[in-house]
Structure 1
Amino acid sequence: LAHSRFGIVVLSRSFISKKWTKAELDGLFSRELEEGNVILPVRHGLTVEEVTANFPTISGKLSLSSEEGVRSIAKKALDLIRPPELE
């Protein structure tokens, strides 16, 4: 993750229950504070309110829902991470 330009983080009940996932998210958030948009959260089985309650550091970020489907999420992710020279 240290050398990744972006992190697509799938937030789920399983994610909430593990400690190492929070450490990874905190690492990405630290990078985001210095570099700008790094994290793209995807909610899987969680509401926006549950994300806010469990992940206050990213509560203000726009998150996608897995209910949108893989194609929709992939397109939105590409729109966010595509280098400007490829647009």
Structure 2
Amino acid sequence: SQRRENWKSQQKGNYSLLPLKPDPNNSWKLVGRFYDENGAPTEALREVEAAIEEALKFQAESEQKKQQFPPCNSEWSSAKGTRFWCSRQR
């Protein structure tokens, strides 16, 4: 998803760039917590991606509930008492 890709691009600053090998192409790779020396994702990255997916699922479910149940408000004043209303906008 786009959010996961944004997160990945933000994390690139947390790695040191190391040459793959001294070759004329000057190849580079990311080495750190989320990628190993071979450029493969680590278990830590897989855990983070799973957590992101879970958070996105939770967010989608929350949005669905907002559509089903409109937001409600209340206020109280000594002059008017209690007032309670729900928005019809979804």
- Per the TM superposition, whether the score is higher than 0.5 is no
TM-score (norm 1): 0.25
Q: TM-score, normalised by structure 2?
A: 0.24
Higher share in helix: 1
